[in-house]
Structure 1
Amino acid sequence: MNYSISVIYFLFLIFSPRITGLPSTVSGTDTDTQTYDVCILGGGATGTYAAIQLQDRGKRAVVIEPKNQLGGHTETFYLPSGSYVDYGVQGAFDDKLSRKFFNRLGVKWHRTVPSFTGQDFVDFTTGRIVESPVGLVQSLLAIVRYRLALRRFPFLDKGFYDLPDPVPEVMFRPLREFIEENSLENAIPMLFFWAHTVGDMLDKPAIYTLLDFGVPQISAMLGGYITPERGMYELYRQAATLLPNVHYQSKVVKAKRSDAGVTLTVQHLNGNQTTIQAKQLLITHPPTMEKLQGFDLDAEERELFSKWIWRNYYVGVIKQHGIPDGRYVSNTNPRTGPGFLPEMPFESLIQYMGVPGHPNTKIVGPMNFTADDARQLVLADFARMKDAGTYSIQEPEIVAFADHSPEALMVAPEDIQTGFYRRLYALQGQRSTFYTGLTFCSDYSSLLWAFTDTVLERMQQE
């Protein structure tokens, strides 16, 4: 994945998000007023996709994005040489919808398939090499059996919480019970590879792992992915050039909503405020109580949004010498039972992405696990591998780091059983407010885009 680009182009990649699409109407006054058809909160995968689709339909849309660039969980680290490391989202499903979106943005791509060769299994608590929890052939055979077991749940095939009433008990029971009932112990490492954000997945309701690695993901694993030739961020850099109305480094501090539309007060980094009036509001970030401070939440919204538990999730790029290029170092703990899964907090995998000496890493922890905690954990894991003599590691440095919290939003088993997700989806359209994003759908770009299409259709109808 190494491509040569000029220094000028590299600087453009780094700085263009800061100057492209800034709100042109924000002046030296305290407050301006803008009017749109749709206001979109969050410029990640779903917010950016929605903005492009609405623009193509002739709608005036504005995006409110707290970061200084679009892309959400898409993170690309560009080196001066022109090579790059994708350390967040690494690709999209090779399907019609994804190819159409890439083409719409004028982004060239290439196909790629997951590789499970070159793996080292290391107990990160000791730093030592351990045995593989299961052979590759046995793992793949177990995935076939897992896929057959999923036939019982066709309502999950589109990747969102389309649960029947009553909710099947297997959905809210711990995943380990589903594993035991179907003799799928050999599938656990593969499930963890794709659904590691769930954390202690065996003890959490099965639905969260079944959605993170279900029929769509298995099909993609077999059929391949597409990824931009200049890194995943290229997709959102291109989108930023096409979207005239994006407020970067901004957030909504007050919201009044009704069936007739919404009025939002947007706070900018420079201290100025903008009043946005829109016919409809599309919330794409997780609807947590913290993120919705200042909103006129009703009793139902407060009750639902206060139930979330989640994982704090961090990603990074490590500059290091010692772990051989081309290796995938999987965190493997033989003392934890079937699957040898690490205990939270953990680095799930140190992954080579094609740039020598610059693997990426992904860190999962509980809700009180901070970014500093994650950085310290990574350096401590490398130190243990060095002390154990597993690799000749020399002064590792975290050269890129991002916070993707909150991730893997979940609720208690009894809430799933008593219809939490039916109530959550019933919020769509109330007081001109609609929702999309990882809280409502499995956190894979292609699935998120497809789900967002269904929301946009409903918005158009209403």
Structure 2
Amino acid sequence: MLVCANFARAKIDESSFDAARVIQRDVAITGRGAARTYAAVRLREDLNISIIVIEPKNRLGGHVDTYAVLETNTTLEYGVQSYMQYGPTVGFFERFGVEIGPFTLRRLATINVDVEMGITLDYTPPAANDATEALNKWLQFVEKYDNLVEPDFWNFPSRDKIPMEFLIPFKKIVREQKIESAVPRIVTISGIGVGDLQILSTSQAVQAFGLAVTKGVLEGTFIQPKVSNSLLYQRAYELLKNDVRLGSTIQETERGSTGVRMTLIKAKRVLWIPYPSQDNLKAFEQDDKELQMFERWNTSVQYLPRKVEPSNHLAVRDHPYYLTLGTTGPSGLGLFRVMLGANYSVTYEEAKSVVTSSVQKLVEAGILNYTGHCEVDIKALSAHHGVLWPRESAALKQGFVQKLYSLQGHRNTWWTGRSWCEEYSSNVWTFTDTVLERLLKSLA
């Protein structure tokens, strides 16, 4: 093992630690998410690289969240719902003996209501055939740029060679391609465009809803584990647990030319998984190059802005937040899966307040078969927040992608996760393989 020494700004006094408690590894993997577990398995089991996983939660799984319905011996997924048959996905499930099957979407009668008033809207969503036809046109469009964005942006063109279509507003492409009927499905699945689709660039839309996911939607090839999404991570933990530190966070780091040193951990490289917010990185001793990049980041009831009436599909995101409620079963328990997305920061308490007041508006409007004040009981809650790439096309022209990817390997740190590629687990795993290939070469 490499002993990391001769740091220009030594802050960690190694002599203050019992030598028996100092962990030395080739790679320290920090953070949450699908990429972290996948990378740990690949590095340790396939590539013979020693690892240590630093996990803030008391479990592996990142955005996979499973709620056990105690009354019925069933489980409900309120995080990741399904997976694409893309890259190493199917093989990764098979590796852990997790049986998979087709993803089945619960069929619900949708009620469209005003996001502010809670009253019903006279909005007609696109017909299924129209949506499919529009998605096929979108497929032809994204197919042209697949090599630029999937599964990674290593080969993204320089500023003077970026396709002009990437730099214009998504709304303009929608109108030019006549694919308005695809918009509700695109934004619902990807979660993009909250607040106003007008400022969303086409490059962001392609990144969020590229070739793989479009094909998966059209061909109906999404999959899901037959037991629960958490089973994969439970079995992965059993394999990795000697090299996993649950409930742990980084308090202090040193990164130098010869390696990385964290409190009690010495590693040759760091593989960073969480989204790179200033809060997440506060113990990570950023240099000027990193600071310059990361400072910028920043029944079914569907709540919609009134502007969608009667069928203005491009207005479905013209509100600072979106909210959907969908019954999950089992029958008689009154359980709903709630999705709240916003273009501003929301605390857990604020999210609960939005959900509670929105449900009460449905009661007052007579949409729910209930009288009086409705008590909302939050059974489980999980935040799936992150950072978005700049939405302005000017950022691409200024070389944002190249500057971002130039951080790969900088100060012995490698980066993966949904902040660096398309955010679906299947894409993240595929992208992670490209990062591990480069990380491995740096260790040689």
Match of 2:5 in 1: none
In the alignment, structure 1 residue 79 sits paired with structure 2 residue 56? no
Q: Distance in 1 between matches of 2:387 and 2:326?
A: 20
One-letter code of the match for 2:60? L
Match of 1:144 in 2: 136
Q: Which has the higher contact order (CA 8 A, sep 6+)?
A: 2
Q: Which piece of structure 1 moves more, 205-214 or 276-285?
A: 205-214
SS of equivalent residue, structure 2 residue 49: coil
Asked if structure 1 preserves the Cα contact closer than 8 Å seen for 2:114 and 2:120, the reply is: yes
Match of 1:176 in 2: 171
Residue 421 of structure 1 is aligned with which of 383, 394, 401? 401
Normalising by structure 2, report the TM-score: 0.86
Asked if structure 2 preserves the Cα contact closer than 8 Å seen for 1:84 and 1:355, the reply is: no
Deviations for 1:325-370, whole angstroms, at most 9, x for unmatched residues? xx33222334154434144443432233443322211111233322
- Summarize the Cα distance change of 1:66–1:367 in structure 2 as closer, same or farther, 3 Å threshold: farther
Mapping for residues 128-167 of structure 1, pairs under 5 Å: 128-130=119-121, 131-156=123-148, 158-161=150-153, 162-165=155-158, 166=160, 167=162
Q: Distance in 1 between matches of 2:34 and 2:390?
A: 20
Deviations for 1:291-311, whole angstroms, at most 9, x for unmatched residues? 1113232211110011112xx
Match of 1:294 in 2: 283
Match of 1:248 in 2: 246
- Summarize the Cα distance change of 1:106–1:155 in structure 2 as closer, same or farther, 3 Å threshold: same
Residue 233 of structure 1 is aligned with which of 226, 230, 233? 230
One-letter code of the match for 1:206? T
Match of 1:119 in 2: 110
Asked if structure 2 preserves the Cα contact closer than 8 Å seen for 1:85 and 1:355, the reply is: no
In the alignment, structure 1 residue 98 sits paired with structure 2 residue 78? no
One-letter code of the match for 2:202? A
Q: Which piece of structure 1 moves more, 30-39 or 419-428?
A: 30-39
- Summarize the Cα distance change of 1:95–1:301 in structure 2 as closer, same or farther, 3 Å threshold: closer
Q: How many residues are aligned here?
A: 409
Normalising by structure 1, report the TM-score: 0.82
One-letter code of the match for 1:427? L
Match of 2:9 in 1: none
Mapping for residues 178-197 of structure 1, pairs under 5 Å: 178-197=173-192
Residue 416 of structure 2 is aligned with which of 436, 447, 455? 436
One-letter code of the match for 1:187? A
Match of 2:354 in 1: 377
Asked if structure 2 preserves the Cα contact closer than 8 Å seen for 1:114 and 1:224, the reply is: no
Match of 2:270 in 1: 281
Q: CA deviation at 1:62?
A: 0.8
What is the percent sequence identity of the aligned residues?
Answer: 27
Match of 1:6 in 2: none
Asked if structure 2 preserves the Cα contact closer than 8 Å seen for 1:50 and 1:452, the reply is: yes
- Summarize the Cα distance change of 1:331–1:367 in structure 2 as closer, same or farther, 3 Å threshold: closer
Q: CA deviation at 1:438?
A: 0.8
Match of 1:32 in 2: 21
SS of equivalent residue, structure 2 residue 136: helix
Match of 2:6 in 1: none
List gaps (5 residues or longer) in structure 1.
1-27, 266-274, 310-326
Mapping for residues 1-80 of structure 1, pairs under 5 Å: 32-56=21-45, 57-80=47-70
Q: Distance in 2 between matches of 1:116 and 1:400?
A: 23
SS of equivalent residue, structure 1 residue 375: helix
Q: CA deviation at 1:239?
A: 1.2
Higher strand share: 1
Q: Distance in 2 between matches of 1:180 and 1:426?
A: 35
List gaps (5 residues or longer) in structure 2.
1-16
